[in-house]
Amino acid sequence: MKKLIAILCCAVILGCTFQTKHRGYVFPNDLAEQIESVKTTAQLESLLGSPQVKTVYGDDVWVYFGEDENYRGPLPLTYDNKTVLLAWVRGTRVVKTQILHDDDLPNVEIDDEETEIPAAVELNALQELFKNVGRFSPAGLGQ
């Protein structure tokens, strides 16, 4: 009985791992001071690299984002240290920058339900397999 309890306790302890993964950009601790001296897009790219997103509509804004994902065993996944850097760009000049942290960002709840796509075709695994038969040419034929 003691061996069973010991094995169960070991399994529970092994399942309670603590791990943090960084997603996106790793910003320096003194980001605000470093960004103040940035006046051109070349300086910004040499400091942080290419932006994750460049806006398509409206003002030309470059977006840099970084956060930490925290894995705590069976507990739900949490995120912290969220940082967003917005840089308004006009040509090759950086006109304005803004740094947003956890408290500045809205808390967006993701819905578990899926949105149906109109006229979407739902296929099972066998239908997908047979649908693709003959669609691809054999390797090496160059067609």
What is the residue extent of each domain of the chain?
A: 38-105
Q: What is the pLDDT of residues 38-74, one digit of tens each?
A: 899 899 898 888 898 888 888 889 999 888 888 877 7
Write the DSSP string, 73-93: TTSPPEEEEEEEEEEEEETTE
Q: What is the pLDDT of residues 86-112, one digit of tens each?
A: 889 988 899 998 888 888 878 878 788
- Give all strands (DSSP E) within 27-118, no chain letters: 53-54, 61-72, 78-90, 93-100
What is the pTM assigned to this prediction?
Answer: 0.60
Bridge partners of 22, per DSSP, are 68
